[in-house]
Amino acid sequence: VLAYATSHLSGGQMNPAVSLGLALSGTLGPLQAAANMLAQLVGAILGSSFLYATVPHAAASTLGSNAIARGVSTGNAFVGEAVMTFVLVSVVLETAANRKSTARAQAPLAIASLRPACRLPAGFAVFCAHAVMLPIDGCSINPARSLGPAIV
């Protein structure tokens, strides 16, 4: 929903990994990418601050911070996050940024919706990443989403 709502403003970018991928592919200029990433990080810190101010006993809360599950190594979690972030960025690049894509108007659906089967041609990258990574480390696939609660 947020990707659809903000696509006309920032291309629906809410993830520094996606902004970096767009910059490296030449779709987004380096200055705009840096500005977007800074705004995403500041927004995550502000959002976590608002959450802290809203949640009773927030000082005892994790505010949604990621935590690696018992029995999972840091390396396993890192590789999982790297692979799933790569999947997300790839889907964004191929659906929203690729000029040959016929799915541009539906790109947010391919990027962030729910579907039981996780086949990349059908998209739904965020759901697929969460289905795999939630039990491992809470699933971030977004550096801003992890940094905000960690700082607050």
For every residue of 79-148, which 3-state class applies, written as one string?
Answer: HHHHHHHHHHHHHHHHHHHCCCCCCHHHHHHHHHCCCCCCCHHHCCHHHHHHHHHHHHHCCCCCHHHHHH
In this prediction the pTM is: 0.81
**Residues whose CB falls within 8 Å of the CB of residue 101, separated by 6 or more in sequence, listed in order:** 94, 95, 107
Give the domains, in start order, of the chain with CATH numbers: 1-151 (1.20.1080.10)
pLDDT value, residue 109: 56
Helix (H, G, I), strand (E, B) or coil at 148: helix
Q: What are phi and psi of 138, to 5 degrees?
A: 90, -5
pLDDT value, residue 104: 55
Output the CA–CA distances (angstroms, integers) from residue 123 to 2, 32, 118, 149, in the order listed: 17, 26, 7, 28
Q: What are phi and psi of 118, to 5 degrees?
A: -100, 70
Q: Which residue positions in the chain have pLDDT lower than 70? A: 1, 3-4, 97-98, 101-123
pLDDT value, residue 113: 43
